[in-house]
Amino acid sequence: MEFRTIFDTIPEQFDRYRPRYCPALFSDLIAYARIGPDKNVLELGPGTGQATDPILNTGCDYHAIELGEHLVQFMNRKYGSHPNFHIVNDDFITHDFEGQQFDLIYSAATIQWIPEEIAFAKTFDLLKPGGTLAMMLTKGDYRTPNEALFQRIQEVYSKYFHPETKYAHGSFAYANAPEYGYVDFEKREYPGERVFTADEYVAFCGTHCDHIVIPEPDKSRLFSGLREAVWEAENRIVFQDTYILYLAKKPLN
């Protein structure tokens, strides 16, 4: 199974434990791209809607393309009653958009699954002149709040983290957008925090693609060790998050 299709096997768990993004990020994005009822928007790989509500609720003509069949079903149950909601179950890499163009294309931790030359070139072609490409992700730091817990967790990983298939996906070069014609590239950051109990932390870890493919018995031993580590740290693990928003524009001419 491809890593990028694994999330489709856990839609309910994915929806509950994957991080959302802060209101300030969406306020800035909506204002920057001037999104409202008269605008066409495309979300790449929305998952179960971690970054959907604030954009959909502007009244824009919202479109999404999602590779996972079960994730699409989940999204339709969640948002299908909205008249401005449209989703297609297909692969962005090969999908024919039949001449559609958008004022905003955005990705919440999805675009990095697409080869750079396709991601930037195809989004550029799909945007209207002056349109915005927005790419967001979350970086979570659980080391700074509790160094001792961090070290204990690393020991657990050293013993039991042995995925059957190695996660070889490299870092996506967001800053390369100007090489494909984009202008006004910028990066914005917003602070956040998540707090998990031991059980919640294990459930969250269970949404990571490279954790899902760990064979037994190492998978159970890994999760048991992580649970025990957090339980012994007063049943609490804190993530100091940084929500990152990359913005770029397609030139008007």
pTM for the model: 0.93
Residue 198 lies in a domain: no
What's the domain count of the chain? 1
Residue 244 lies in a domain: yes
Digit-coded pLDDT (tens) for 225-235: 999 999 999 99
Q: What is the DSSP string of 103-155?
A: EEEEEES-GGGS-HHHHHHHHHHHEEEEEEEEEEEEEEE-TTT-HHHHHHHHH
Token readout for 92 is: 């962005």
Q: Give the pLDDT band of residue 213 (cuts 50, 70, 90).
A: confident
φ, ψ of residue 6 to 5 degrees: the values are -65, -35
Question: What b/e sequence results for 65-101 when a residue is b if at least 16 CB atoms lie within 10 Å of its CB, and e otherwise?
Answer: bbbbebbbbbbeebbeeeeebebebeebeeeebeeee
Question: Which of 75, 205, 207, 186 is closest to 135 using CA atoms?
Answer: 186
Block residue for tokens 């070069």: 173
Residue 175 lies in a domain: yes
Digit-coded pLDDT (tens) for 71-115: 999 999 999 999 999 999 999 999 999 999 999 999 999 999 999
* CATH at 129: 3.40.50.150
| Domain span holding position 98 | 3-140+169-193+240-249
